[in-house]
Structure 1
């Protein structure tokens, strides 16, 4: 899939257009200077608007304006511009047309299910339901990078509850081409919870290999729906089989649990955006056997389960169950 349209074109050498030349010189990749990038984004969108004043049939420029609006999370504008680009695309060329994908993202962000459904269909994807019904498909497992880095001009760091959180790649269940419901228990440093529904972009940044299958890593655009399920943690120290028993008991109590000590690896950016196997970069268990478990669900129920587990056999230790994200 191509994510840049009019910027790929070059003006005819015999009839150079200074405005188009300037547009192409700006570039869309973000640098380290936020103020300069913001100014480039504003200038690019202004030039695109001027070029469309000259020729409002330029579907590539409409695509670019829709993309700029997506990067700044201006969903009404992104939907309008992407729809215009798609309208100007011959029907025979709409399959796998990036404007259709961006239209699907914008419409999904706005919960405009009829438009989202038309966009995915135009792209060549089947989605369930019809008309204005919400799309709630089962598209299998997927990986998403929460709080991703800024990659393009005009993008802004995602803020939740008034702050920017740490990036993390988590697993979830894909509901449609642009949304994933988180099925992991994310670290509290990510600001996300088990069950959050995340709106994500369509351009993969890296791969995660699980059970021999490669899954693209999509990147979060925004938190689409907040989960009400709190995140807690508890430090435990015991033999492997005892910790397995605790995890089983927590799951029987309808709590989600993840071993943040042995199942979470810290990767550099280059590694994270490459191909990562589910067994790669896993940290070793500390010599003292201590682990930090992440738990999603009622913390009072978790406290009861942990206390019963400690009492059940000798050699088991557990700290307090601490609520990390309410």
Structure 2
């Protein structure tokens, strides 16, 4: 390798360590373009694509990812295909995304240009990992997207948001003995139209609160008790953590995801089923869709 290319490689590594993704992306793409056929060419294109993924520069990540994927063997679980699938999904380029998942080695995906929507199992998502890192449950609808099934409480996310998430698990949650991976959010792929509300309700028995949960769960709405949120240390969040569902009692702040008229109607129905022991306070807006 030429001396100037060795210096360029060192520059790329230094930029990478510093988190200077723009410079790292330029350097590794330059290295790959200057040294076609080099044993490191695929890795350089991969690093260039990954740097632009970190920048959320999806058109560049897609273009560079195609170059990286062209140099590796399909069906072998090569991460170049996974990152290409992420970039293509971010851009809603379904033909490229589908082919990337097929080339990665995922069964059950057909070529085509239609949106990839399916059921890929339960998943946990770490929302806004750079700040709050709130972990919620979701339904995975493709290898890199999940629908939020909790009502987030610590960050500006909503029940029903579709989240573009990373492909390497960063922790796990264990529910009823079954491990579920935690993936870090990359970005909000599609924003939910449902507002988030907070309301104080009071009822003496767990059965009362269970009835409220069932009322909201019967539609496409969300409900959480504020007490359901557990504050844990970062180390535990990124490790393996056993979880269990608890039903609150007494007076609790509930977080709701539903249109205002639906939320008020369901709360009134719940209260009127046992008015002698159930009370409902005033709805407070937490997060409303943009006008």
Cα separation, partners in 2 of 1:196 and 1:129, compared to 1, 3 Å? farther
User: Aligned residue for 1:169?
Assistant: 135
2:51 corresponds, among 48, 65, 68, to 68
User: Aligned residue for 1:104?
Assistant: 85
2:6 corresponds, among 9, 17, 21, to 17
Q: Is the 8 A contact 2:21 2:52 kept in 1?
A: no
Query: Could you state the TM-score of these two structures normalised by the residue count of structure 1?
Result: 0.79
1:138 corresponds, among 119, 123, 127, to 119
Gaps of 5+ in 1: 1-10, 29-36, 150-164
1:324 aligns with 2:289: no
User: Aligned residue for 2:192?
Assistant: 227
User: Aligned residue for 1:271?
Assistant: 236
Cα separation, partners in 2 of 1:43 and 1:173, compared to 1, 3 Å? same
User: Aligned residue for 2:101?
Assistant: 120
2:257 corresponds, among 278, 296, 311, to 296
State the aligned residue count. Answer: 283
Distance 2:220 2:24 in 1: 51
Distance 2:209 2:73 in 1: 59
Q: Which runs of 4+ in 1 moved over 4 A?
A: none
Q: Is the 8 A contact 1:75 1:106 kept in 2?
A: yes
1:50 aligns with 2:30: yes
Distance 1:49 1:253 in 2: 49
Greater displacement, 48-57 / 170-179: 48-57
**CA offsets 1:272-305 (integer angstroms, 9 cap, x no match):** 111111139x8x969xx32121111122222233
User: 1:216, CA displacement in angstroms?
Assistant: 1.2
Distance 2:217 2:151 in 1: 13
1:215 aligns with 2:196: no
Gaps of 5+ in 2: none
Q: Is the 8 A contact 1:207 1:273 kept in 2?
A: yes
**CA offsets 1:46-70 (integer angstroms, 9 cap, x no match):** 3213312421341110000000010
Cα separation, partners in 2 of 1:89 and 1:271, compared to 1, 3 Å? same
User: Aligned residue for 1:31?
Assistant: none
**CA RMSD in angstroms, aligned pairs only:** 2.7
Cα separation, partners in 2 of 1:49 and 1:302, compared to 1, 3 Å? closer
